[in-house]
Amino acid sequence: MKAVKRNIISTLEMNSPQGFEELVAGSHANEDVVEEALTELQRENRLAYHGRHDGYVTVEGDCAVCGQQVPNIECQRVTVSDGTDSDVASEEYVLHPHCRRVIFGSWE
């Protein structure tokens, strides 16, 4: 199961979204095992079914603006540092393109 999950994640990181049939074909496991792996990965918040793209995608994290999952294919990253202390590590946030526009709209 662990190997199947790892395989699904690495497959989706290289090429997503992918539908259930594609993931079964690519994982060399039977449908029951793939379905169980997908269920576990969604519960662990590492993968989501993305209706708009009609397939499974990996999840990069929760959006800094709206709090919803950000699929890797839409992920925008913003690095924020306060600029006053170079020893303080800057923080990286993930967000959706539309949420990014809400904040940085006129900068693009």
Q: Taking CB under 5 A as the criterion, which residues in 30-89 touch Zn ion?
A: 63, 65-66
102 sits near Zn ion (criterion: CB under 5 A): no
Q: Residue 17: is the preceding peptide bond cis (ω within 30°)?
A: yes
In terms of CB distance, is 29 or 65 closer to Zn ion?
A: 65
Between CA 16 and CA 27 the distance in angstroms is 14
CB 73 within 8 A of CB 16: yes
In terms of CB distance, is 38 or 63 closer to Zn ion?
A: 63
Tokens of residue 101, six digits: 């526009």
| Residue whose Cβ sits closest to Zn ion | 63
Positions in the binding site for Zn ion (CB under 5 A): 63, 65-66, 96, 99
